[in-house]
Structure formats: C-alpha cells, structure tokens
C-alpha cells in the first residue's frame, strides 16, 4: 500500500511539472468560402447529324424486307453522290415486324390476324459541310427516304470549346469568391477544392425553311445553323485568410 501511494505521488508530480512547462494553443478553425462559377462560349456549329429511314409494307416478310433494302440502297447511292464519305455513313436500325389487322366488331388490334409485314431501315449521316444539308436531304427523299427521324447540329471537336468554357467558369468562381471575401473583410486564399458539376451543350434542331420559288421543281430546305452555347459549371472552395 505504501509503494502504491508513492508511485501515485510521483505520477502527479510529473504531470504537474509538464503542465507548468506546456503552453496550450487553441487550434485555429479553417475558414473557407464555397462558390459556383459558370462559363459559356458561343460558336457556330460545324457538324450536322441526320438520320434517314425507309419503310416498306408487303404481303410477305421477304417482299417487305427486299423492298426496304432496295429503297435504302437507292438512298445510300444518292448520298454518296452528294460527296458524303464512308466514315460519315452508318447503318442504324434494321427491323421487320408483322402488321396486325383489327377486330371488325370491337375495333381493337387482332394479334391473331397478320395482314402484312413492314420492314424499316435507318441510316445516320454526318455532314461536315452544313450548307450541303439541304441538298443531301432533298437527294435522299427523292431517292426513296420516307423518314427524316432526327436532325441536329453540333461540333466535330467540342473539346476546345469545353476547355474555354471551363476556364471561364473557374475565373467566374474566383471573381465571385473574391467579391464575397472583400465584403466580409477577409482576404481570398488558395483554392482548396474545385470540381465540375455540370456542363456541355445540347445539340439543337436547326431552323429549316423551304425555298419559295414556285417555278422551281426542287424544294430543298435551307438550313440556318445559328450559334450554340457551350456551358460549364464548376464548384470551388477557397481558403479565407
């Protein structure tokens, strides 16, 4: 028992000595500010992406498929004559399905009675010369395309525009953070975190108008490309000094 009390006394004495020699400093809380920056760059699209389709009905599946294939081959030949390269032509959907009749009494589709077959082929085309889009559409329709399923404008290489928009977004974030820090009586320090929270562009359907010259048999649409915006959003956190 005496030894235990002596050991405890020694520990207390040592602790007291350490307490006298140690200066406890409070940990300074990290102050920061988080902002969102937006950047936008406008440019004229340099790429048009079109999707044509042909469909044909016949009494038998073979006849329907063969007719659709002939139509698509004709469309493909017409597009080749317009100068569209092989790398910019891609076969899309190829489908064959039965066409059902209707119940004469109830008016509903009768899936037990096949009245025909329908075959559909689609072709996606990329045009690097947007001004030629009207002529390509006209040539495809005249060759047998009975569907223009989609038509959008975009950029062949959007990375350069994305980089510009991203830089603008970071600059916008720093400007906002600096203004807020000044208003709060603080100085803006180093960036702690930064991330992209969204961005890109949405390919838009182009404006099309038909030529109004009634004396002309050809009625190729005129394409208005306009401009598109490349937008990027970033979230950034800065240290406050």
Q: What is the pLDDT along the chain (241 residues), one digit of tens a residue?
A: 444 444 444 444 444 444 455 566 555 678 999 999 999 999 999 999 999 999 999 999 999 999 999 999 999 999 999 999 999 999 988 999 999 988 766 767 777 889 999 999 999 999 999 989 999 999 999 999 999 998 989 998 889 999 999 999 999 999 999 999 999 999 999 999 999 876 666 655 554 443 333 333 456 777 777 888 889 999 999 999 9
**Do the domain assignments include residue 103?**
yes
Domain that holds residue 116: 47-154
- Residues 150, 59 within the same domain: yes
**Do the domain assignments include residue 219?**
no
- Does the pTM exceed 0.85? no
Q: Which residues pair with 58 in a beta bridge?
A: 117
| Burial state string for 10-27 with b = 16 or more CB within 10 A and e = fewer than 16 | eeeeeeeeeeeeeeeeee
How far is the C-alpha of 148 from the C-alpha of 153, rounded, in Å? 14
**Do the domain assignments include residue 70?**
yes
Number of structural domains (the chain) is: 2
- Residues 128, 191 within the same domain: no
């Amino acid at each position: 028992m005496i030894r235990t009390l002596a050991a405890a006394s020694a520990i207390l004495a040592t602790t007291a000595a350490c307490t006298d020699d140690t200066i406890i400093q409070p940990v300074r809380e990290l102050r920061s500010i988080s902002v969102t920056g937006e950047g936008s760059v406008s440019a004229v699209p340099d790429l048009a992406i079109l999707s044509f389709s042909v469909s044909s009905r016949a009494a038998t599946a073979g006849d329907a498929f063969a007719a659709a294939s002939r139509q698509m081959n004709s469309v493909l030949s017409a597009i080749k004559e317009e100068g569209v390269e092989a790398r910019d032509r891609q076969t899309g959907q190829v489908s064959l399905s039965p066409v059902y009749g209707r119940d004469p009494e109830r008016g509903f589709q009768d899936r037990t009675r096949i009245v025909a077959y329908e075959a559909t082929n689609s072709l996606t085309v990329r045009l690097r010369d947007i001004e030629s889009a009207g002529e390509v559409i006209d040539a495809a329709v005249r060759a047998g395309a009975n569907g223009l399923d989609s038509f959008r404008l975009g950029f062949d290489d959007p990375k350069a525009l994305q980089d510009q928009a991203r830089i603008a977004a970071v600059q916008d974030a720093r400007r906002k953070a600096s203004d807020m820090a000044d208003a709060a009586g603080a100085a803006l320090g180093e960036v702690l975190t930064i991330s992209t929270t969204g961005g890109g562009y949405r390919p838009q359907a182009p404006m099309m108008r038909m030529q109004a010259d009634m004396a002309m048999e050809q009625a190729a649409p005129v394409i208005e490309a306009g401009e598109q915006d490349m937008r990027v959003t970033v979230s950034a956190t800065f240290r406050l000094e």
